[in-house]
Structure 1
Amino acid sequence: MATRIDQLLYDFTTYVKTSQSEQAIEVLKCYPELIRHTDFLDEFPLMIASRYDCTPVVQYLVDQEIDINRSSSNSNALSIAAREGSLNAVNLLLDAGADPDLCRAIVSAVLAKNNKLEIIKTLLNHHCDVNQVFLMFNDPSNKRTALDFCRAGSAEELLLRENGAVSAKSL
């Protein structure tokens, strides 16, 4: 049986998904304790709003002076926004001081659904580590960098190489 918090998080997520940002913010204002709780995916409201590029909600949460670098399940709001192609959320989070090297945001950007090049450029402009190593399945013998996830000859590969990226095999 769902708890009251679970139901509120569900309502919040529904509002965010359907671009009803005023209603989502109202839920957070009425139940400020909700900000630190996670849903069934182990994501808290900033991660959810970032996933759906719900800029007014991301801005509201940033204005609440929450920890924008908070992570959960090896992810954080910035890496989720990068992976989902949520360019506005990426910009907002970085401008608010999000650490571009936490939770492999550059790898997430390379794997983005949309706005891939713009997000990579934005992370590069915020001095992210292009050679950050990612362990596949937490296996030290299976290392990758953002470059290793690029399609050969792609614009992403060229952009990363221009900015000093190398394959994990070269590190």
Structure 2
Amino acid sequence: MRLRFVSFLLLIFSGFSIGIGLPHEICMNAMKGIGPKFDKEIWPSFDKLVCSKGKSPGADDWPFAEKEVLIPLWAKLGKKGLKLPPYKPQIKKLAESIVQECAKKHKTNFCKKPELEKMKGCAIDKAMGFIMGNMDLGDKYGNEANCKIAMKCLEDQSLWDWLEKKVIKFAKKVT
């Protein structure tokens, strides 16, 4: 079950990772560390407060996730010095494409692993198309200095505490 939510949140972070381009090894290492951190810091709350109560979070929850998680996360990371492309129009368009064509179309329940795995494959296809069409972002945002800032941001416990509060807020919304 943990993998399910980790995969979902990794999809949210994929916008972040795609936004900075990720060509540098430091960025790749930072992203590899997200899964175990989600597993420890975020999943227990999500599982207890949402999945174990029989809820079916999915594409219909995107407006909440965008407003309460993705846009504030983008701003929070920017305030910490991470250089990111503007959320609008490119990243927003990519995120909405993933939600519409990968989650909503397939009626993905983020608490069900097989459904989430299908969505993940679709999201990766969308992300790769975005990367190929925006190669300049890798050069602009995926340099060593910015990747070091990304690593520092992802190691900051306050970020994970903030995300856990968002899970609790989401759980209150759906229960």
Structure 1 or 2, whichever has the larger Rg, is: 1
Select the structure with the greater relative contact order (CA < 8 A; seq sep ≥ 6): 2
TM-score by length of 2: 0.23
